């Protein structure tokens, strides 16, 4: 998205606008101090609407008008352009005057808002403009003294109209910046959830529990009534609803957008789809879209690969999606698609780690355990042949038979280990192992890792996601700041909080330089915030080095069902 042009300096604009006032009537010259004082006060408004309200009142007072109105156009590229005004600000001495402001604006739009007095000089309309861009229309009517509007009145109103245009432009730039920041932060949050495993490990179209996270986030960011994730339909060629986020049940979950729908080929080709009225064009192929208004569908595409689509809709009668919102939604979907591809690769790596470990266990069982059992059986058989006591021979024979049965069971286990499982869940152990192994690359050595207790069984998904993120933060701090030669990581699912509640405790200790007395501690603050959000805590103390040199970070949180 192109950066917005900087707003012009109000003083420069005012100077340019008032330059043409020189040499005019003493009446205009006498009003200049009031105009300048009014303009100084106008810039202190908390928002554009307040500033426009002050401008309307100020203009009416300066030129002696009984009523005034400002009509603000929709932003350029807004899908609502041509469907009315984005904002209307009015002023009138009486209720009848205020009600007549709508007629003022309608007349200005019909005549093009000329910068001149209307019939009999009782009507004045000027455009709200900064440079070549027009933001709206400024209208005044009915002089209090019954006379016509003068050229001096027109010049004063044009100066105030310029100030109004600046206020609108500045507010729109600020609003666009805040909106862009929200979408970027939302994309980062979803990416972290997908890559940390916090979105769940079960497979749903390759996204785990991710569809629900993505649907809720796109609904929140778009300020919409519903957020939907659609994934390719098995064998049907269409798109199936995998997740829905809405305040009320929608009946959309599990429904399909058939391949014959015009939207499907466009989405699969990487093109967005904008729907002004789903009731008249039900692209989802169900009766449910009739309850929604303006809708937007964007593809989840990464490179040439389309993983699915995001859809969001507002309530019936809601405002349409602007060009800016459509662009931001498309960028958000592209970022989510990249995160999904990375998460898929991450799951493949975790699965490979598990398979390699299974293969190692199978080799150890075959090369060590089976061979030793076989050797023990041969020794017993030799002892049986040399024994003269029938009772001893019988017992040895039973022991040999038991060993033979054990060898067979071990071989069966070896065979099972060598088979590729249909799906290997990552689990908290696998995710922790991946983080520790990944840290070995920048560190130049492999940190030690110890698990205590049933980590995978005891620690819930949310706590596990925060624990992995805390581990990543602690290892990153050790790499960037500690200059450590040794790091020990312990994940203890049998820990207890200070109040006695069961907890999981993560300890990352190193023999580095320690935490400097006056240094930044943003990483430690992040760890503390994560723990406190779960009802736990985080602290640091002496490390592994001689005399306590280095740092030991302890992060703990209550186990599921035990936290606040």
Rounded Cα distance between 153 and 144, Å, is: 13
Both 106 and 151 in one domain: the answer is: yes
**394, 421, 448 - which closes a domain:** 421
Q: Tally the domains of the chain.
A: 4
The answer as to whether 164 is a domain residue is yes
Both 40 and 151 in one domain: the answer is: yes
Token pair of 100, please?
Answer: 């007549």
* Helix/strand/coil for 549: coil
pLDDT above 90 for 506: yes
Please give the C-alpha separations between residue 256 and each of 133, 286, 310, in angstroms, as whole numbers. 44, 8, 14
Tell me what pLDDT residue 321 has. Answer: 82
pLDDT above 50 for 199: no
Rounded Cα distance between 310 and 267, Å, is: 10
71 bridge partner residues: 88, 137
Residue 431 and residue 464 in contact, taking contact as beta carbons nearer than 8 Å: yes
pLDDT above 70 for 44: no
DSSP E strand boundaries for 441-531: 448-452, 487-496, 502-510
* Helix/strand/coil for 552: strand
* Helix/strand/coil for 35: helix
Write the CATH number for 212.
3.30.450.40
Rounded Cα distance between 289 and 179, Å, is: 26
Residues with Cβ within 8 Å of residue 104, at least 6 apart in sequence: 67, 68, 69, 123, 125, 139, 140, 141
Rounded Cα distance between 9 and 15, Å, is: 10
Q: Which of 37-51, 383-397, 525-539 has the highest mean pLDDT?
A: 525-539
Tens digit of each residue's pLDDT (9 = 90 or more) over 247-276: 777 677 777 777 778 788 888 888 888 887
Tell me what pLDDT residue 204 has. Answer: 38
Rounded Cα distance between 275 and 277, Å, is: 6
Residue 447 and residue 440 in contact, taking contact as beta carbons nearer than 8 Å: yes
Tell me what pLDDT residue 508 has. Answer: 93
**371, 394, 421 - which closes a domain:** 421
Tell me what pLDDT residue 171 has. Answer: 76
Pairing of strands 87-92, 226-232: unpaired
Both 305 and 224 in one domain: the answer is: yes
Residue 482 and residue 513 in contact, taking contact as beta carbons nearer than 8 Å: yes
Rounded Cα distance between 39 and 16, Å, is: 14
Q: Give the CA radius of gyration of the chain.
A: 36
- What's the CA angle centered on 543, arms 537 and 544, to 5 degrees? 135
Rounded Cα distance between 219 and 215, Å, is: 6
pLDDT above 80 for 518: no
The answer as to whether 247 is a domain residue is yes
Both 458 and 547 in one domain: the answer is: yes
Its domain, for residue 246, covers 208-321
The answer as to whether 180 is a domain residue is no
- pLDDT confidence tier of residue 361, bands split at 50, 70 and 90: confident
- Mean per-residue pLDDT, 92-105: 74
Tens digit of each residue's pLDDT (9 = 90 or more) over 270-323: 888 888 776 665 554 444 456 778 888 888 888 778 888 888 888 877 777 878
Tens digit of each residue's pLDDT (9 = 90 or more) over 204-259: 344 445 677 888 888 888 888 888 888 887 666 788 888 888 877 767 777 777 77
- pLDDT confidence tier of residue 408, bands split at 50, 70 and 90: low
State which H helix or E strand residue 433 sits in. helix 427-443
Both 46 and 81 in one domain: the answer is: yes
- pLDDT confidence tier of residue 8, bands split at 50, 70 and 90: low
Tell me what pLDDT residue 137 has. Answer: 84
- Mean per-residue pLDDT, 21-27: 51
> What is the separation of C-alpha 251 from the centre of its chain, rounded to a whole number of angstroms?
25
Instruction: Match 């989840």 to its residue by tokens.
Output: 300
Q: What sections of 297-451 are H helices per DSSP?
A: 323-364, 371-386, 390-417, 427-443
Tell me what pLDDT residue 554 has. Answer: 94
Q: Which of 35-44, 91-100, 453-462, 491-500 has the highest mean pLDDT?
A: 491-500
Share of the chain above pLDDT 90, in %: 5
Average pLDDT, the chain: 75
Both 348 and 493 in one domain: the answer is: no
* Helix/strand/coil for 507: strand
Rounded Cα distance between 135 and 512, Å, is: 60
Both 397 and 441 in one domain: the answer is: no
Residue 258 and residue 285 in contact, taking contact as beta carbons nearer than 8 Å: yes
pLDDT above 90 for 64: no
The answer as to whether 438 is a domain residue is yes
Token pair of 239, please?
Answer: 């798109």
Both 46 and 119 in one domain: the answer is: yes
Both 144 and 227 in one domain: the answer is: no
Both 50 and 74 in one domain: the answer is: yes
Rounded Cα distance between 506 and 394, Å, is: 54
Both 38 and 164 in one domain: the answer is: yes
Both 411 and 456 in one domain: the answer is: no
Tell me the whole-structure pTM to 2 decimals: 0.50
DSSP E strand boundaries for 365-518: 448-452, 487-496, 502-510
Q: What is the distance between the terminal CA atoms of the chain, rounded to a whole angstrom?
A: 43
- Mean per-residue pLDDT, 428-444: 80
pLDDT above 50 for 405: yes
**158, 174, 190 - which closes a domain:** 174
């Amino acid at each position: 998205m192109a950066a917005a042009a900087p707003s012009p300096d109000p003083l420069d604009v005012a100077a340019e606008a008032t330059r043409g006032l020189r040499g005019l009537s003493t009446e205009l010259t006498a009003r200049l101090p009031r105009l300048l004082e009014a303009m100084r006060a106008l810039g202190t408004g908390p928002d554009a609407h307040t500033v426009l309200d002050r401008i309307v009142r100020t203009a009416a007072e300066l030129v002696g008008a009984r009523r005034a109105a400002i009509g603000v156009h929709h932003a350029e590229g807004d899908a609502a352009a041509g469907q009315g005004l984005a904002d209307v600000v009015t002023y009138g001495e009486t209720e009848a005057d205020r009600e007549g402001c709508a007629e003022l604006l309608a007349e200005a739009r019909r005549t093009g808002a000329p910068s001149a007095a209307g019939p009999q000089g009782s009507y004045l309309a000027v455009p709200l403009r900064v440079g070549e861009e027009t933001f709206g229309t400024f209208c005044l009517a009915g002089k209090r003294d019954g006379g016509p509007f003068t050229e001096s009145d027109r010049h004063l109103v044009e100066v105030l109209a310029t100030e109004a245009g600046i206020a609108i432009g500045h507010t729109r730039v600020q609003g666009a910046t805040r909106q862009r920041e929200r979408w970027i932060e939302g994309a980062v949050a979803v990416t972290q959830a997908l890559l940390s495993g916090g979105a769940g490990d079960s497979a749903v179209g390759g996204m785990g529990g991710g569809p629900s996270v993505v649907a809720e986030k796109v609904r929140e960011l778009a300020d919409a009534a519903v957020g939907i994730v659609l994934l390719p339909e098995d064998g049907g060629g269409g798109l199936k609803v995998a997740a829905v986020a809405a305040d009320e049940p929608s009946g959309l979950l599990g429904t399909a957008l058939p391949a014959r729908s015009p939207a499907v080929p466009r989405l699969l080709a990487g093109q967005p789809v904008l729907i002004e009225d789903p009731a008249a064009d039900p692209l989802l192929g169900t009766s449910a879209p009739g309850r929604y208004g303006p809708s937007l569908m964007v593809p989840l595409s990464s490179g040439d690969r389309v993983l699915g689509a995001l859809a969001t809709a507002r309530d019936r009668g809601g405002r349409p999606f602007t060009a800016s919102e459509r662009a931001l939604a498309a960028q958000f979907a592209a970022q989510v698609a990249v995160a999904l591809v990375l998460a898929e690769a991450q799951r493949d790596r975790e699965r490979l780690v598990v398979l390699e470990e299974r293969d190692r266990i199978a080799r150890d069982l075959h090369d060590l355990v089976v061979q030793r059992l076989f050797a023990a059986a041969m020794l017993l058989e030799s002892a049986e042949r040399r024994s003269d006591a029938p009772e001893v021979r019988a017992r040895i024979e039973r022991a040999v038979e038991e060993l033979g049965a054990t060898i067979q069971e071990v071989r069966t286990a070896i065979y099972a280990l060598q088979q590729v499982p249909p799906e290997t869940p990552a689990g908290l152990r696998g995710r922790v192992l991946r983080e520790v192994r990944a840290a070995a690359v920048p560190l130049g050595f492999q940190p030690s890792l110890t698990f205590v207790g049933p980590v995978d069984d005891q620690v819930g998904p949310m706590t596990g996601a925060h624990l992995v993120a805390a581990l990543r933060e602690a290892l990153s701090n050790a790499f960037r700041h500690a200059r450590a030669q040794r790091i020990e990581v312990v994940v203890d699912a049998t820990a207890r909080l200070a109040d006695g509640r069961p907890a999981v405790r993560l300890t990352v200790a190193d023999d580095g330089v320690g935490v400097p007395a006056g240094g930044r501690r943003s990483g430690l603050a992040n760890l503390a915030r994560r723990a406190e959000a779960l009802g736990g805590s985080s602290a640091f103390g002496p490390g592994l080095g001689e005399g306590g040199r280095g740092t030991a970070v302890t992060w703990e949180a209550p186990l599921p069902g035990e936290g606040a």
